[in-house]
Structure 1
Amino acid sequence: MESARDVRKLPKAHLHLHFTGSMRPGTLLELADRHGVHLPDALSSGRPPKLRATDERGWFRFQRLYDAARSCLRTPDDIRRLVREAAEEDVRDGSRWLEIQVDPTSYAPRLGGLIPTMEIILDAVESASRETGLGMRVLVAANRVKHPLDARTLARLAVRYADRGVVGFGLSNDERRGFARDFDRAFAIARRGGLLAAPHGGELSGPGSVADCLDDLRAGRIGHGVRATEDPRLLARLAAQGVTCEVCPASNVALGVYDRHEDVPLRAMFEAGVPLALGADDPLLFGSRLAAQYEIARRYHGFTDDELAELARQSVRGSRAPEDVRKAILADIDAWLVEEPEQAPPSHPSPSAHTSPSAHTSPGVA
């Protein structure tokens, strides 16, 4: 094995992590047992499920598994545990800043409504950040398959909590259903409230989905965006506008966006000048966390330590971290490069375990 710096020690920001999808598998099993939830075999086997989301049946199965896992989060203590453990995992992988994405309507029925749910989540984030030293903020995500009026309600809620740690507004779930323009008023509310517009686009659907996010929602960041490589002019536009794409290599393969890790257009986007932020998406379902995404970039795309450091810088620049926090993380990235390389064990869990035939969305579910 070639000597290389340990990517787990590379300071970085994590900008694409879904709430339930951040859960540890062991925690899911414990909560399911505590609350009497019968989990599908795909979630109780201890191994990442085999997934494919390029057709309606595959997406339905993915959504069903996500919903089953989410049904195990029933109490404020469950929420606090999930957030604390997500922070611990991120710290272990070298993350210094995490923006976790959540649709609070998915948890509200068990937690007393939307406002109590947001209070519980934000309290949990504040506590986890204080206990672990990880900078943490929240991105509220609307569901693309629900009515646009629901998204407007969520946008107003997100703005209400902008001073408590909500930094952005997203749009997730199956991008083949519903037009981005249907949610333009919700995103206008969020932008007027000072929130970043960060919808999903360019996974299950092609480059047109990314263009719609830019044109109709005035996105400042794009969840995934990998299909933009199919349109060179769009790729150049992302680079010129400095729109960060939250690329999740392991989930792209696990969900069939691409056949192999080598096929994910990470190198093409990087060389085109598109700012990138590697993300783990849903570790619970895909079996790999943040550092593993950097290992994939190294192993399958030939990224050098200098290039991995630049990926980390781009993740920090694309974040909503305060300027002093950004400067501190960027300085520590430079320090990582000064260190002598060492024999570092790979931090990825056998990427081949997630290889499934071949395009997806992130769990557009939060």
Structure 2
Amino acid sequence: MERVRDVSELPKAHLHLHFTGSMRPATLLELADKYGVRLPEALTDALTGGEPPRLRATDERGWFRFQRLYDAARSCIREPEDIQRLVREAAEEDIRDGSGWLEIQVDPTSYAPRLGGLIAAMEVILDAVDAAGRETGLGMRVLVAANRMKHPLDARTLARLAVRYTDRGVVGFGLSNDERRGMARDFDRAFHIAREGGLLSAPHGGELTGPASVRDCLDDLHAARIGHGVRAAEDPRLLQRLADRRITCEVCPTSNVALGVYEKPEDVPLRTLFEAGVPMALGADDPLLFGARLAAQYELARRHHGFTDRELAELARQSIRGSAAPEDVKTKLLGGVDDWLAADPA
């Protein structure tokens, strides 16, 4: 049997991890108990050792169910110390999985009502990220994400806020939630504000809807990265465009299956994107709900798509190159990838 290297020791960057969705199950259960929150049965079953919920978010009812579970989890984050714990534990989990750089995605409006307003919430989050980075040694930054389900004027407010904190660790601006709602072009002004302020454009697209949503992110929002982007595999010309422009797709295989975008892990078009030359950064998306963190995505690529250690190393390099990490951090991590590949398999 061929020996393979431990993917949890492969240096990598994590570019697609949502704030609430990064929580450890045990932490959510403790916080729910602390605040007397009754969690949905489907969520408690999953958190206590059952299978992650199959949500079928490709239909409206399935997405509503996913959002209900996510909102229930978010309702348990109420105090600054909860934010601090969530971020520190997310950093610890990433380090355990070999991550040397994490860009965690957050919509601060979700936490503003309990934390004293939008600015106060943003500062609590950034303080927590700064503290976790110092305590764990992980390079951490923040990507502020607007919500497609809200008015585009709200996105402009968030873009201005994000630009205000570029010197405190905000590196990008995103657009999340159900991509079947809210045209990308409706948010073009918000993304213009963000780009003019020096932020990387990284909207979600090509997950619940097809290649057109990826094209919209490129044409209307001038995306430098695409959150998900897997449906681009259905359009060879779009794949070529992504490859030629070196647009990194933040691909989250476990999430794609859990949300019903693909039926089985082997259906996720990792090979199609990889062989087309599209840069990828594997991500865990919402491990709280989907049950798998970062290293598991690399294991999935190995087990279900036959990625060799050399190919997994290239995936790690692509994640690092696609990140907003400083050049010296990228150089160090890329050197670590080479060392991992040069080492004999255990």
TM-score of the two chains, using structure 2 as the length reference:
0.98
- Residue by residue over 1:167-217, the C-alpha shift from the partner in whole angstroms, topping out at 9 and shown as x without a partner, is 000000000011000000000000000000000000111000000000000
Aligned counterpart, 2:20: 20
1:72 Cα offset (Å) = 0.1
* Counterpart among 106, 112, 122 of residue 110 in structure 2: 106
Aligned counterpart, 2:153: 149
- Residue by residue over 1:38-86, the C-alpha shift from the partner in whole angstroms, topping out at 9 and shown as x without a partner, is 0001111223222210100000000000000000000000000000000
2:207 corresponds to which letter in structure 1? E
* Counterpart among 229, 233, 236 of residue 229 in structure 1: 233
Secondary structure (helix, strand or coil) at the match of 2:58 reads coil
1:259 corresponds to which letter in structure 2? E
Aligned counterpart, 1:352: none
Distance 1:2 1:52 in 2: 36
Distance 1:76 1:167 in 2: 22
Matched, 1:297 2:301: yes
2:317 corresponds to which letter in structure 1? R
2:315 corresponds to which letter in structure 1? L
Distance 1:49 1:108 in 2: 28
Aligned counterpart, 1:356: none
* Counterpart among 79, 83, 86 of residue 79 in structure 1: 83
Distance 2:280 2:53 in 1: 27
1:3 Cα offset (Å) = 1.3
Contact 2:101 2:325 in 1 (8 A): yes
Aligned counterpart, 2:65: 61
Secondary structure (helix, strand or coil) at the match of 2:344 reads coil
Aligned counterpart, 1:205: 209
Distance 1:6 1:299 in 2: 13
Distance 1:78 1:57 in 2: 30
1:144 corresponds to which letter in structure 2? R
Runs of at least 5 residues in structure 2 that lack an aligned partner in the other structure = none
Aligned counterpart, 1:166: 170
Aligned counterpart, 2:282: 278
Aligned counterpart, 1:10: 10
How many residues are matched?
Answer: 342
- Residue by residue over 1:111-144, the C-alpha shift from the partner in whole angstroms, topping out at 9 and shown as x without a partner, is 0000000100000000100111100000000000
* Matched ranges for 1:332-351 at <5 A: 332-342=336-346
Secondary structure (helix, strand or coil) at the match of 2:150 reads coil
Aligned counterpart, 2:335: 331
1:192 corresponds to which letter in structure 2? E
Contact 2:22 2:86 in 1 (8 A): yes
Distance 1:43 1:154 in 2: 30
Secondary structure (helix, strand or coil) at the match of 1:278 reads coil
Aligned counterpart, 1:92: 96
Structure 1 stretches (4+) deviating beyond 4 angstroms? none
- Residue by residue over 1:263-317, the C-alpha shift from the partner in whole angstroms, topping out at 9 and shown as x without a partner, is 1000100000000000000000000000000000000000000000000000000
2:113 corresponds to which letter in structure 1? P
1:4 Cα offset (Å) = 0.5
1:303 corresponds to which letter in structure 2? F
Contact 2:253 2:297 in 1 (8 A): yes
Secondary structure (helix, strand or coil) at the match of 2:250 reads strand
Contact 2:54 2:260 in 1 (8 A): no
Runs of at least 5 residues in structure 1 that lack an aligned partner in the other structure = 343-366
TM-score of the two chains, using structure 1 as the length reference:
0.93
Aligned counterpart, 1:182: 186
2:231 corresponds to which letter in structure 1? R
Aligned counterpart, 2:324: 320
Distance 1:148 1:320 in 2: 25
Aligned counterpart, 1:34: 34
1:253 Cα offset (Å) = 0.5
1:257 Cα offset (Å) = 0.4
1:20 corresponds to which letter in structure 2? T
Secondary structure (helix, strand or coil) at the match of 1:124 reads helix
